[in-house]
Structure 1
């Protein structure tokens, strides 16, 4: 019998992953001279820059840095920040726009193999769930046909960004669960681990490609006494 009444989940790299399709890069080259193909290594690096939960990967002007630091609080800042990253990475404007459109399309995100099993199993057990994400677009449609979540606490909707304890407190308040009876699961010790400041338990998962992580969520829950 677990002593947990709720599980909070990060989205990117935890429940879902943005995984590229080669068609996304058709006709793309790097730099204005167009003299370097966007091969699989370049694709992987671009995707890393688009999904890394913390840090920054390109040079930034003061204006670009301000947008980057506030990117998960407003859609227009999110767009400005990531288009800057893609342009600084060598993509032409039209290609940066095309790739960015994939980032904010919930249909382009791939669930991990055990995401549906975990969400369904927790609901069956009567354990409440919330997605707590630093994000600036509505990710709810990604869950259609995958599983039901009780609450979505998205940074751009609540005006707080992980690891700020207030975003986790908002989730706990909505679920009606005290921190000591909740587990936060995420791929960033820095961002998601902020839940520990309130007294939540924390489980770190590796944001591997979905084909390489079949039961990371199930393992994280087992380690905290929840067997599904």
Structure 2
């Protein structure tokens, strides 16, 4: 528990994608992958593809009614998630079904995600301060292995995943579920995320909020530590 100014932080909720971890393309993921014109997907093309696959809000390609429904509900149902992202890949030029499935498989493999440089340090700091930790994510696959395989799961008290709880950010219900599961008051809770729209909605139930930039991991060495320091957790 950390006191700063007029508030006491008893728990911190972290977004996953673009906050604690980032999906960063490995060149080998796109070996043999070509767009509709036969051009290899690499470099800037691969980076743009990852941006479209990981954008927290908005629509990154054109959709029809069915695929728009899948996109808008992708984080509530694994089947809709698959449909939505295979559509994004097809619209981005990866029209070969086998190639699209290969890229999609990387997205839903928790071990494909890279932790930010200060992720481990932040989680350990909170543990030392006896501040409870939740990971609150709009997602349709289990991200726990990304933490388990790096020995970080011991620092997370609760995983609140949209496809498991039936609500998505920015709906207030998912934030209420998270603070209830941690046994803390919203006013004593800090939400850290990369989307003012999705994660910042935690403020509607009374939580504090800190925004971080979902920059590449090599360009964001200490944003999480800085965010916590602003709330007296040093």
Q: Is 1:180 aligned to 2:184, yes or no? A: no
Deviation sequence 1:133-165 (CA, Å, 0-9, x none): 000000001002242200000000000000001
Question: What is residue 43 of structure 2 aligned with on the other side?
Answer: 40
Runs of 4+ more than 2 Å apart: none
Q: Is 1:143 aligned to 2:147, yes or no? A: yes
| Structure 1 spans left out of the alignment, 5+ residues | none
Question: What is residue 122 of structure 1 aligned with on the other side?
Answer: 126
Question: What is residue 90 of structure 1 aligned with on the other side?
Answer: 93
Cα distance in 1, alignment partners of residues 136 and 16 from structure 2: 7
Question: What is residue 221 of structure 2 aligned with on the other side?
Answer: 214
SS at match of 2:133: strand
Q: How many residues align?
A: 225
Normalised TM-score (structure 1): 0.97
Q: Select between 169-178 and 138-147 the one with higher mean Cα deviation.
A: 138-147
Q: 2:110 aligns with which of 103, 106, 112?
A: 106
Cα distance in 2, alignment partners of residues 129 and 57 from structure 1: 31
Normalised TM-score (structure 2): 0.94
Question: What is residue 155 of structure 1 aligned with on the other side?
Answer: 162
Q: Select between 53-62 and 139-148 the one with higher mean Cα deviation.
A: 139-148
Q: 1:205 aligns with which of 205, 208, 212?
A: 212
Cα distance in 1, alignment partners of residues 151 and 167 from structure 2: 27
Question: What is residue 9 of structure 2 aligned with on the other side?
Answer: 4
TM superposition shift of 1:39: 2.6
Q: Select between 138-147 and 189-198 the one with higher mean Cα deviation.
A: 138-147
